[in-house]
Amino acid sequence: MQLKIVSTSILAYLLSVSVCNAIELPDCSWVMPDCSEESIRSLITETATDPIEGIWTSSDDGARIAIISGTAPGSGRTLADSYLMVILDSPRPGILPGTVSGTCTPCGKPETYDCMMFTKCDGKRLHKPHRFTLHLADRSHITITEVHSGLKVVFGYSLPRINFLRIKSANDRPKDLDGFIRIWPQTGEPPARPRRL
């Protein structure tokens, strides 16, 4: 009986791990050939079906990215929607236009996307993919929240007449402030940021 419970627990764990890693991404970034902002605008105009598709600027470093329909090379066949995050202009001089910085797919929750993005740069290529959740706050703003997965073990000690002081780092900055602001196509909503006169 216990063997059956243990094997069921192991199977449930393996299934949860495989679901969590549903988005496939190579170990490092790749460059889409002949990628320009004009060609991306033309592609989006012809094929866009999702509000996330468009050209965005990062609220963090000002990088300009396009989110377009597409899949990572080598990923399995899927009927689900999949989008590529393509860098059009980066503050890092070694990153070429057309570099794919991540992928995302829609979740069951409206306006929410499961995302894998590269988080490190070696000067020319991006690597170390990490999981994030993108949320389309409105048609002009995307927020990014990092996903922490895996097991976490916390040890606590309580002995008679001995108290241990545990110190934790504190950070009260909200987790969903980082993200992207839409540049194109413009929506009927108020501008993402005030225009200078």
Alpha-carbon span 13 to 7, nearest angstrom: 10
Which residue carries 């989006």 as its tokens? 44
pTM above 0.75, yes or no: yes
The residue type of 54 is G
pLDDT in tens, 146-167: 998 887 766 665 666 555 556 6
CATH, range 23-150+174-184 = 2.40.128
Q: Identity (one letter) of the amino acid at 49?
A: T
Mean pLDDT, residues 76-93 taken together? 88
pLDDT higher than 60, residue 9: no
Q: Say how many C-beta atoms besides its own lie within 10 A of residue 9's C-beta.
A: 10
